[in-house]
């Protein structure tokens, strides 16, 4: 038989991945072999989806919502998102500009496909969510990192970003509260960025606000929707995965300026047709039902994140900044003189603690590891005890 030659398109060689999923697979394998594993690797709430939301999803199925929906999302859900934005940010966004998609991640890919191609440049945070760099590379554009440094509390200065804009820049990606650092960008920097972008009407900004409701430090969350001057240049990424513990439902949304919306809608029709119908009904209930569940999760993440960062600072080799939001601690481990990957492997193989090496989030993540607070206080405490006993 002839040997098959898979002559696939070259751009596929540019795809990256999310190490968190690789670590999860390894951690699950070790657990299945009987090892005691504490999972501080994966970025999803450890809480179940609140009962009233689950019930709304089940009811939708029982009510016969089995078919395709509008590719943009059911109108009631787009209206519910618009109302939620008005309630939380006092900003008007037309449902016509809201696209419901299967997970916030889809918006990253859409933004990269919309704005990226050969001879274009896209700016993205580093360390940052690894899918930014992967999607940019896949689009053919040049991925240009801007560093989120520990010295600046893992925030950025608008000036740094604006100085990196050139004739080729088509898109800038920002993320606050941030994965993996837990950093939150102060309003003043965001305002400066919005002001500066007025001079670059050919540049689009994508603001990933998926952790917006998990913000518990001294710097409050500011949505880029607060700056109407750049609304026509702005793509917003948000969704239900983190806020309502709904990662597996695959639900997210994007807000696009009208011109880009028309193309994003076509991408949706070409790729996924529409989002699972019952999940969309559950999403309406999530936005319109009681919000105590969100407050409770935020409080739990705050308590755990503070415990984690303070305890890590008592251990030789770990220096951790106070996290401001999301649900991660990102300690500096440079004094161990070991690479992030070595520490990640030591923690998993020797101590049964799943974490993610900082380098999984880009080159500026070397010397750091990410620990997720999305596990019980008891599990976090046990992990700290195990680390303390060895380092
Ligand atoms: N953006 C950031 C910064 C994330 O951390 C994640 C998930 O980990 C996403 C987007 C994707 O979220 P979703 O699960 O809704 O696709």
| pLDDT tier, 391 (very low <50, low <70, confident <90, very high otherwise) | confident
2: in domain: no
Q: Is 300 found in the same domain as 265?
A: no
83-130: pLDDT as tens digits: 999 999 999 999 999 999 999 999 999 999 999 999 999 999 999 999
182 lies in the same domain as 330: no
241 close to ligand 1 (CB < 6 Angstrom) = yes
Report the separation in Å between the CA atom of 1 and the middle of ligand 1, taken as the mean of its atom positions. 44
Token duo for residue 208:
């990933």
Which of 21, 101, 104 most suits a substitution to test ligand 1, by most atoms within 8 Å of the C-beta? 104
Same domain, 26 and 62: no
State the DSSP code for 3.
P
Which of 288, 321, 345 delimits the end of a domain? 288
Evaluate: CB of 148 within 6 angstroms of ligand 1: no
Q: What are the distances in angstroms from CA 302 to CA 71, 185, 217, 224?
A: 37, 17, 8, 23
Strand-pairing partners, residue 146, are 125
Closest atom of ligand 1 to 106 CA is 16
Residues 51-65 have pLDDT tens digits of: 999 999 999 999 999
What pLDDT, in 10s, does the model give residues 257-275?
999 999 999 999 999 999 9
Residue that terminates a domain, selected from 254, 270, 288? 288
- Do 199 and 179 belong to one domain? yes
Task: Give the count of domains, the chain.
Answer: 2
User: 210 CA distance to ligand 1 centroid (A)?
Assistant: 7
Mean pLDDT over the full length of the chain: 96
| Same domain assignment for residues 104 and 228 | yes
The domain that contains 347 carries what CATH number? 3.90.1150.10
252 lines ligand 1 (CB under 6 A): yes
* Residue that terminates a domain, selected from 273, 288, 303: 288
Residues 6+ apart with CB under 8 A from 185: 155, 156, 174, 176, 178, 219, 222
User: 59 and 82 in one domain?
Assistant: yes
Domain that holds residue 96: 52-288
- Asked whether residue 75 is assigned to any structural domain, the reply reads yes
Q: Which one of 24, 175, 179 would you pick to mutate in the ligand 1 pocket, going by the greatest count of ligand atoms within 8 A of its CB?
A: 179
Residues 319 and 238 in one domain: no
Q: Token digits for 158? A: 């608008």
For 259-272, b/e burial (b = at least 16 CB within 10 A) is: ebbeebbebbeeee
Reported pTM: 0.97
Q: Are residues 220 and 368 in the same domain?
A: no
> SS3 breakdown of the chain: % helix, strand, coil, rounded to 5?
50, 15, 40
pLDDT the model gives residue 43: 85
Q: Are residues 270 and 306 in the same domain?
A: no
Distance 311 CA to ligand 1 centre (A): 27
Do 360 and 270 belong to one domain?
no
171 and 60 inside one domain? yes
Confirm or reject: Cβ of 127 under 6 Å from ligand 1. no
pLDDT confidence of residue 242: 97
Q: What's the rounded mean pLDDT across residues 345-355?
A: 96
Q: Please identify, by atom number, the ligand 1 atom nearest to the C-alpha of residue 239.
A: 15
**Relative to the CA of 175, which ligand 1 atom is closest?**
3
Does ligand 1 lie within 6 Å of residue 372's CB atom? no
pLDDT for residue 65: 98
- Tens of pLDDT along 152-170? 999 999 999 999 999 999 9
């Amino acid at each position: 038989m002839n040997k098959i030659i898979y002559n696939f398109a070259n751009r596929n060689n540019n795809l990256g991945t999310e190490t968190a999923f690789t670590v999860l697979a390894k951690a699950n394998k070790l657990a299945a072999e009987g090892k005691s594993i504490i999972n501080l690797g994966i970025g999803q709430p450890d809480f179940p989806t609140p009962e009233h939301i689950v019930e709304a999803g089940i009811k939708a199925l029982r009510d016969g919502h089995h078919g395709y929906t509008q590719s943009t999302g059911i109108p009631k859900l787009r209206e519910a998102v618009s109302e939620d934005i008005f309630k939380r940010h006092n900003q008007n966004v037309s449902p016509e500009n809201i696209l419901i998609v299967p997970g916030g991640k889809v918006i990253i890919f859409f933004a990269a496909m919309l704005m990226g191609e050969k001879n274009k440049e896209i700016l993205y945070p580093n360390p940052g969510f690894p899918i930014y760099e992967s999607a940019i590379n896949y689009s053919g554009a040049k991925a240009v990192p801007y560093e989120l440094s520990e010295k600046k509390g893992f925030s950025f200065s608008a000036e740094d970003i604006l100085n990196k804009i050139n004739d080729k820049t088509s898109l800038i990606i920002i993320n606050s509260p941030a994965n993996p650092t837990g950093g939150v960008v102060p309003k003043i920097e965001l305002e400066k960025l919005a002001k500066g972008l007025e001079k670059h009407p050919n540049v689009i900004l994508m603001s990933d606000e998926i952790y917006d409701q998990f913000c518990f430090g001294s710097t409050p969350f500011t949505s880029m929707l607060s700056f109407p001057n750049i609304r026509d240049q702005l793509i917003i990424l948000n969704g239900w995965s983190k806020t309502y513990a709904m990662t597996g439902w695959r639900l997210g949304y994007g807000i696009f300026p009208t011109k880009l919306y028309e193309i994003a809608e076509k991408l949706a029709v070409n790729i996924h047709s529409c989002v699972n119908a019952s999940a969309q009904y559950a999403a309406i209930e999530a936005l319109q039902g009681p919000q105590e569940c969100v407050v409770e999760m935020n409080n739990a993440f705050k308590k755990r994140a503070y415990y984690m960062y303070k305890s890590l600072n008592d251990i030789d080799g770990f220096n951790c900044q106070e996290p401001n939001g999301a649900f991660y601690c990102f300690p500096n481990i440079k004094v161990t003189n070991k690479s992030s990957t070595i520490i990640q492997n030591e923690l998993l193989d020797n101590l049964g603690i799943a974490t993610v090496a900082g380098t999984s989030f880009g080159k500026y993540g070397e010397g750091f590891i990410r620990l997720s607070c999305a596990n019980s206080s008891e599990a976090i405490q046990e992990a700290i005890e195990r680390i303390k006993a060895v380092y």
